Amino acid sequence: MKLVKLAFIGVSMVALTACSTNYPVNATSNAIGSRSVEVECASFQGFNVKGNCSLVEAMSKAPFKKVGAVEQEITNYGVYQVRKVRVIEGR
């Protein structure tokens, strides 16, 4: 019984942990201006449940026409939930 409790606690700890990575996705030879736009989406088990974080959506909201850099942050909550944030910078 004690082993089952310890196994349950261990699996629960792994399933509830979070980790985040941040890295550049794309860079161009255009200068990075002072303007930026951020889009966010969330998914559960691979299905998008909130928002749209596509680059097309971001460029429709952007106050600029030339893209300088695109950064992406991915945060995993547990095993099944993922949050993505894309930041597009340009001028």
The pLDDT tens digits along the chain (91 residues) read 788 888 887 776 666 666 666 767 777 777 777 888 888 989 887 788 888 888 888 888 888 888 888 888 888 877 678 888 888 888 8
Check residue 13 and give its pLDDT. Answer: 65
Contact 83/22 with Cβ under 8 angstroms? no
Contact 35/71 with Cβ under 8 angstroms? no
| Domain ranges, ordered by start, for the chain | 2-90
